[in-house]
């Protein structure tokens, strides 16, 4: 089947207050900024490649009381509208959210200062997942390689510079994580770590369940742990992006469900890059109390 020009188009990046975003997002900025959040919305917030799809599936499994068939009603990208997503002529993330009945679960990668203001005034719930910077950076590199919408990342060494300078799409990891961490007590924010989810998934899933105001029994929780494991989600066509055309994501270059581990950065960083990264991290994250686990 011939590809429509839209489906084969690579995005150009544009900046808003120094944050690099896809040009289509920036072109749709007024619709995004005037989006009306509701008090019973749950917003899943992450820096890209931090375990967004994983937490989305967990939230949906909790919402559906562990009913696998209900979670298979649609691909994960359609179950939770992605607020800043824009790719005309497809409906935007805002269009999809506006059509969705409440209670809504929504997704964003936006940093705090770019979030539509109604999210702050609606008193809705935010579920933030953070992943250590090095693994996030590696995962994003492989995603850049396989995603035909994102610009070519160049070599690992070139991409390394782009990432530490915060010039990847959705901006600086350092600013994103630091700002969301700093406001965590001012709003209804459940702040989770990818590494904790790997270490003790049941414990973290229980936290999410309580945050969502649900009460599921042990057997259902165990089922959710099992169904949302990396291995199961990698095989699940509703979560593994296998329905996305190759012209958009070429999974023969790198699968969307790639490794799902903690510490893969060690297979990518040179000793010199690691030392440089640690120095930059110290400087950029100075004064914050956030702590990451870099290996399990």
Q: Give contact residues for ligand PPS (rule: CB under 6 A).
A: 46, 48-54, 135, 139, 142-143, 228-230, 233, 257-260, 264
48 versus 116: smaller Cβ distance to ligand PPS = 48
- Beta carbons within 10 angstroms of residue 163's beta carbon: 22
* In the complex, minimum distance from the CB of residue 55 to ligand PPS, in angstroms, rounded to a whole number: 8
Tell me whether the omega of the peptide bond preceding residue 171 falls within 30 degrees of 0, making it cis. no
- Beta carbons within 10 angstroms of residue 237's beta carbon: 10
11 versus 53: smaller Cβ distance to ligand PPS = 53
* In the complex, minimum distance from the CB of residue 283 to ligand PPS, in angstroms, rounded to a whole number: 25
* In the complex, minimum distance from the CB of residue 95 to ligand PPS, in angstroms, rounded to a whole number: 20
122 versus 242: smaller Cβ distance to ligand PPS = 242
46: which DSSP letter? E
Query: Could you tell me the CA-to-CA distances from 161 to 90, 175, 280 in Å, in that order?
Result: 33, 16, 11
- Beta carbons within 10 angstroms of residue 12's beta carbon: 10
In terms of DSSP bridges, do strands 105-108 and 42-46 run parallel, antiparallel, or are they unpaired? parallel
Q: How far apart are CA 107 and CA 85, in angstroms?
A: 10
52 versus 92: smaller Cβ distance to ligand PPS = 52
Beta bridge partners of 189: 126
* In the complex, minimum distance from the CB of residue 51 to ligand PPS, in angstroms, rounded to a whole number: 5
Known catalytic residues are: 109
């Amino acid at each position: 089947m011939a590809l429509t020009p839209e489906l084969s188009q690579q995005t150009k990046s544009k900046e808003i207050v120094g944050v690099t975003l896809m040009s289509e997002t920036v072109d749709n900025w007024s619709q995004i900024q005037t989006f009306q959040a509701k008090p019973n919305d749950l917003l899943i917030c992450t820096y890209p490649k931090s375990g967004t799809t994983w937490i989305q599936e967990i939230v949906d499994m909790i919402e559906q009381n562990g009913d696998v068939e209900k979670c298979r009603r649609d691909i994960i990208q359609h179950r939770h509208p992605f607020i800043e997503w824009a790719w005309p002529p497809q409906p935007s993330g805002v269009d999809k959210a506006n059509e969705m009945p409440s209670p809504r679960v929504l997704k964003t990668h936006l940093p705090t200062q770019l979030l539509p203001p109604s999210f702050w005034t609606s008193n809705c719930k935010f579920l933030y997942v953070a992943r250590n910077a090095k693994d996030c950076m590696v995962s994003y590199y492989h995603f850049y390689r396989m995603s035909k919408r994102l610009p070519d990342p160049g070599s690992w060494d070139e991409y390394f510079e782009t990432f530490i300078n915060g010039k990847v799409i959705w901006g600086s990891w350092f600013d994103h994580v630091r700002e969301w961490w700093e406001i965590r007590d001012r709003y209804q924010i459940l702040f989770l770590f990818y590494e904790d989810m790997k270490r003790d998934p049941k414990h973290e899933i229980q936290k999410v369940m309580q945050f969502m105001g649900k009460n599921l029994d042990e057997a259902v929780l165990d089922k959710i742990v099992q169904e949302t494991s990396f291995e199961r989600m990698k095989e699940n066509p509703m979560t593994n992006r296998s329905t996305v055309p190759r012209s958009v994501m070429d999974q023969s270059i790198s699968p969307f469900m790639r490794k799902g581990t903690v510490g893969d950065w060690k297979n990518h960083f040179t000793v010199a890059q690691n030392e440089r990264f640690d120095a930059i991290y110290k400087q950029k994250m100075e004064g914050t109390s956030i702590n990451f686990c870099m290996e399990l």
